[in-house]
Amino acid sequence: MSVAIVTGSCGLVGAEMVKLLAGKGLEVIGIDNDMRQVFFGPDASTAWQAAALGRRHAGYIHVDRDIRDGEAMDALFATYGRSITAVVHCAAQPSHDWAVRDPLMDFSVNATGTLVLLEALRRHAPDAVFLFTSTNKVYGDRPNLLPLVEQASRFELAEDHPWAAHGIPESMPIDACLHSVFGASKLAADVMVQEYGRYFGLRTGCFRGGCLTGPGHSGAQLHGFLAYLVRCAVEGRRYSVFGHQGKQVRDNIHAADLVRAFWCFIEDPAPGEVFNIGGGRHANCSVIEAIAMAEARTGRKLDWVHVDQPRIGDHQWWISDVRKFRARYPDWSYRYDIGAIITDIHDGLRERLAGQAA
C-alpha cells in the first residue's frame, strides 16, 4: 500500500489532509506531538483531533514525535522507504507573537525541522512528493507599502494598481523589509524546500498561504484569527483587535479547499515551485467585517476591544493572487466562500463543545 506522511497531522491543515489521503486509500502516518498546546496553552491542544482521527480512519497511524529529532525521523522514513509517495509538511510554530519570545525554538521548529525532513526524504524516499505549508509572511511587511485606500470597513488596494483585481502574486519581492522572527524562520524553510527541488531534483513544492481556517482549527489569540474570533462570539469571550482600526484585510481559505489543492500537486508535482494560495478575491474580509458576520451567525454581540498597537509585521491588506496555481491545475476551484467558512467554523465548534460537555 502507498504511504503518506503528514506532519502536524492533528492541526487544522494536517487533519484535513489525513482525511483526504485516507479517503484516497493511502496508509497515513501522522506525526504530531501537540506542540500547539505548548505554544498557546490548553485551549489550543489538538489532543481532541488525535482521538478523532484514530476513531474515524482505520488506515491512520499516529506517531508522537518531534520533527526536529533527526534520528527518529530518519528511522521513520527508513521504515517505509520507497513506499512513501507523499510527505505533506504542516507542522510549525505559527505565531508572530510567540516567535519573538523564543527565536531559537521558533527557528528550530520551522527551519531546522523542515531540513531534517528533507534530508530523511532524500535518503529514503527520493521519488516521493514533498509539499510544504508555507505562509504569506515570507513577503514580510512589504504588502504595507502598497497604495492602500481606507474605506468604511476595510482597506483596499487602489483601483488603478495592477494587483487590485486579483491580489498579490508570487513576484512580490521578499527582501529589504521587516519579516518578524516567525516570517524569517518560515522563509528559511521555504527557500530550502525550493532548493531541494531545484538543486537535488526532488519533487518539492511550497504553498504560501493566506489565512488557513476551518472547523478543525484550535484557534487561540496568538494564532487562528477567524476560528478564535468565532469562538469568542460563541463563548462570550472578549476579543482584541490589534491596530489598523480593525480594517486590515485577510483572505481566508477553508482547509478542505486547501488540501484539495495539495492533492492536485501530489498527482502532478511541479518540482521547486512556489504558489500563493488563499481565499483570493473569492473569500476575504477585514477584521471588523468578520466580527459583523460572526455576530450575525451567532445572534449575539461580540465583546471586543481595539488595541492601538498593531502586531509587528502584520499585513494591513493581503489578498492572494491564485492565478498561477489555477493555470496549472484548472480543475481545482473553491467550494467555500467567506460566509460558508464562518458557518462551518461555528457549527463545528458548537458540535465540539457539546461533545466536551456530554
Q: Quote the radius of gyration of the chain (alpha carbons, Å).
A: 19
Say if CB 339 and CB 296 are below 8 A apart. no
Predicted pLDDT at 95: 86
Average pLDDT for runs of 10 along the chain of length 358: 94 95 96 91 85 90 97 98 98 90 97 98 98 97 97 98 98 95 97 98 97 82 81 94 96 97 98 98 98 96 94 92 98 97 94 72
Write out the E strands in the chain: 3-7, 27-31, 60-63, 84-89, 129-135, 148-150, 155-157, 203-209, 211-213, 238-242, 249-254, 273-277, 284-286, 303-307
**For residues 143-161, b (16+ Cβ closer than 10 Å) or e, as one string?**
bbebebeeeebbbbbeeee
Predicted pLDDT at 29: 98
Predicted pLDDT at 217: 74
Predicted pLDDT at 311: 85
Query: How far is CA 20 from each of CA 91, 241, 259, 260, rounded to the nearest angstrom?
Result: 17, 34, 7, 8
- CB-CB neighbours of 83 under 10 Å: 14
At the second CATH level, the architecture of 3-357 is 3-Layer(aba) Sandwich (3.40)
Predicted pLDDT at 358: 55
> What residue has cell string 492565478?
323
Task: Indicate the SS3 state at residue 70.
Answer: helix
Predicted pLDDT at 357: 62
- Predicted TM-score of the model (pTM): 0.95
Residue 178 CA to its chain's centroid (Å): 20
Q: Partners of 113 in the beta sheet?
A: none
